[in-house]
């Protein structure tokens, strides 16, 4: 989560993001986002890898992450 402290934007880790019933929460720069920590190599534009999101009630949802250049926009790609 990001918040302003004076004139500085600070990030802090959260254990969960609440998604209200029937609503969406968007992950994007300047708001909620995922940060991958402990990568063994830099991510390269065009790479793809699987990721599993865990929801309290909906369970696990498998998605494919597509690495894009900073600022690029894309539609989420779900695997069923």
Cβ-based burial of 39 (10 A; exposed 0-12, middle 13-18, buried ≥19): exposed
For 14-39, write each residue's pLDDT tens digit: 888 898 888 998 888 778 888 888 89
Indicate whether 20 belongs to any domain. Answer: yes
Indicate whether 28 belongs to any domain. Answer: yes
Domain residues for 60? 2-66
Mean pLDDT of the chain: 81
Indicate whether 72 belongs to any domain. Answer: no
Indicate whether 77 belongs to any domain. Answer: no
Q: What domain count does the chain have? A: 1
Indicate whether 26 belongs to any domain. Answer: yes
Q: With 80 as the cut, is the pLDDT of residue 71 above it?
A: no
Indicate whether 71 belongs to any domain. Answer: no
Indicate whether 24 belongs to any domain. Answer: yes
Read off the pTM: 0.60
Greater confidence (70 vs 55) lies with 55
Predicted confidence at residue 76, as pLDDT, reads 53
Three-state SS string over 2-44 comes to EEEECCEEEECCCCCCCCCCCCCCCCCCCCCCCCCCCCCCCCC
Predicted confidence at residue 36, as pLDDT, reads 85
């Amino acid at each position: 989560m990001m918040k302003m402290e004076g004139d500085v934007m600070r990030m802090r880790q959260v254990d969960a993001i609440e998604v209200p019933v029937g609503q969406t929460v968007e992950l994007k720069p300047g708001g909620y986002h995922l940060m991958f920590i402990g990568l063994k190599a830099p991510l390269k534009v065009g790479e793809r890898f699987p990721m599993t999101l865990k929801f309290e009630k909906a369970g696990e949802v498998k998605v494919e992450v597509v690495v894009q250049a900073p600022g690029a926009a894309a539609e989420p790609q779900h695997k069923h």
